[in-house]
Amino acid sequence: MLFNSGEFIFFFLPIVLAIHFLLSHRFQQGNIPMLFLVLASLFYYGWWNPVYLLVIVGSMLANYLIGLNIIRLRNSAPVMTKWLLAVGIGANLAVLGYFKYAGFILDNLTALFHSNIDPIHVVLPLAISFFTFQQIAFLVDASRGQCDDYNFIHYCLFVTFFPQLIAGPIVHHGEMMPQFARIDRSNRNEDFYVGISFFVFGLAKKVLIADNVAQWATPVFGAADAGQSIDSAQAWMGAIAYSLQLYFDFSGYADMAIGCARLFGIRLPLNFNSPYQATSIIEFWRRWHMTLSRFLRDYLYIPLGGNRKGTLHRHRNLMITMLLGGLWHGAGWNFVIWGGLHGSYLVINHLFRAHCPSVVRLPRLLTQAFGWSLTLFCIIIAWVFFRAESFDGASRMLSAMFLLSTGTATSAVDDPERGWQLIIVFSIIALFAPNTSRLLGYFGTENTDQKAPLWRPNPVTGLLISVLFLATAIRLSDISEFLYFQF
């Protein structure tokens, strides 16, 4: 049941919202409305495959019990607390490793030792990377004394809350469970307006832009992965089209997740903040998949030592963090290469800032324009490895992009002129238009908005939202999964 499907938009979401609204008024004290949301979220998760429920429920129960004992023992039995934390993290990583990386590891061992071991085929449970990371963070913070003895139903909702369950954001217990304990129902009208607006904007990004531009990305990468030669113009078209497809696909999902949650009075953290407007790779990672960046920083980069032990250690820690961040996205060497590229970009960016201050002091407009162009170029190159099915496919794409390919080029796309026209229009939106959070004055889990919204509730904006929704609704028959569902 996808966010962009008719059954979700016209049945699941309105029914769950209506029942939750009635329960919230009938039971203003207690956990009944939250329990209903847990059950609805589990139903939503099990829609794809009910067997997945065994994984998420088992993970949730085990982590809650381990976390509860860590909280109770952290002061009186610190050694036992460390053992419990190690067991909890190890068990989480073992489950994630089995489902996500067992086949990858076995394939590489088979190739390395030239053995004839039969490959294993494990079905990857939806969202396992997301809810595993959330619960690891909970256990670590419990051992640090940053968690209280939380209500079990609130914990279950923290893990399963359907707006963010499948593809993030990776939420933190400290920003979610206090909200579950005291949902502010005094701003229902604002919640509804902001929630609907976010959802419709996100739906439009997915249906009208991401799925549209995909028809100029998919054939090009498909041809490269199939071993066909493509010319430079097609290769660049495919690479840029995929960069836009992923941008609007992920941005659309992030908006829809925030919108769904806000309808229930819950504020999710921002996960996407116009990353293609960044003027450096450092800034890009403060804007792209912001909650994953936060997790990697707080629970991997800083524990490794961060930047506390000198430049060399800092760069080593950055590379380790980004390599593992790449591997988190998928079990394949292309993802490792993608992570390694971004790790290298970050190291070079930090070295440049440290050793080339005179360049930084050039006219601001000049440095920003150069930084912006170079950042986009590096991002697009890295996305080639992220999208290609194989290293050979990525190499073939890059060879064509830089005029190094040989052989007769095939025509991978139809109507390339229209493709370039759409790429230009969508690029202007990504590079210059204000994002949804800026339009609506929404900046995350805090109730204090930093800037006044540009998009205010009135008859005109209401009409525009309605027209935008109708324009997307007529395209819902051609639904496609969000790209981040595979991670």
- pLDDT single digits (tens) 145-169: 888 767 899 999 999 999 999 888 9
What is the per-residue pLDDT for 448? 47
Q: Where are the alpha helices (H) located in 2-51, listed in sequence order?
A: 6-7, 13-26, 32-46
Asked if 165 and 219 sit in the same domain, the reply is no
Q: Nearest to residue 71, comparing CAs of 88, 58, 55, 59?
A: 88
Give the DSSP letter of residue 118: P
Asked if the model's pLDDT at residue 367 lies above 90, the reply is: no
pLDDT of residue 358: 65
Average pLDDT over residues 40-63: 95
Residue 41 pLDDT: 97
% of the chain residues with pLDDT over 90: 64
Average pLDDT over the chain, rounded to an integer: 90
pLDDT at 115: 77
Q: Do 175 and 302 have their domain in common?
A: no
Please list the residues that pair with 288 across neighbouring strands: 272
Supply the pLDDT for residue 200: 96
pLDDT band, very low/low/confident/very high, at 408 (cuts 50, 70, 90):
low
What stretch of H or E contains 348? helix 333-355
What is the domain range of residue 254?
190-486
Instruction: Examine the domain organization and report whether 294 and 359 are in the same domain.
Output: yes
In a domain, 408, yes or no: yes
Are residues 162 and 23 part of one domain?
Answer: yes
**Are 226 and 297 in the same domain?**
yes
Q: Which residues partner with 272 through β-bridges?
A: 288
**89, 136 contact by CB (below 8 A):** yes
The model's confidence at residue 297, banded by pLDDT at 50, 70 and 90, is very high
pLDDT grade for 183, boundaries at 50, 70 and 90: low
Roughly how many angstroms between the first and final C-alpha of the chain, as a whole number? 17
Q: Which residues contact 170 (CB under 8 A, 6 or more apart)?
A: 130, 133, 134, 137, 291, 292, 294, 295
**Largest Cα span, the chain:** 72
Same domain, yes or no: 146 and 48: yes
* 347 Rama class: left (phi>0) / alpha (psi -120 to 50) / beta: alpha
Residues 6+ apart with CB under 8 A from 291: 168, 169, 170, 171, 172, 269, 271
Assess contact for 177 and 155: CB atoms under 8 A: yes
Total domain count for the chain? 2
Domain end (from 182, 216, 236): 182
* Helical pair 391-401 and 218-225, crossing angle rounded to 10 deg: 110
The winner for highest mean pLDDT among 126-130, 386-390, 449-453, 462-466 is: 386-390
Q: How confident is the model at residue 486 (pLDDT cuts 50, 70, 90)?
A: confident
Q: Which residues are tagged catalytic?
A: 329
Hey, is 411 helix, strand or coil?
coil
Given 152, 182, 212, which residue is the final one in a domain?
Answer: 182
Mean pLDDT of 164-175: 90
In the chain, the percentage of residues whose pLDDT exceeds 70 is: 95
pLDDT of residue 286: 95
Q: Please report, for residues 216, 236, 330, 411, the alpha-carbon distance to residue 223 in angstroms, rounded to integers and kept in the order given.
A: 12, 13, 22, 9
In a domain, 441, yes or no: yes
Residue 1 falls inside a structural domain = no
Q: How confident is the model over 35-59, as a mean pLDDT?
A: 95
Q: What is the token pair recorded at 353?
A: 């800032």
Q: Are residues 104 and 221 in the same domain?
A: no
Q: Tell me which of 163, 182, 201 is where a domain ends.
A: 182
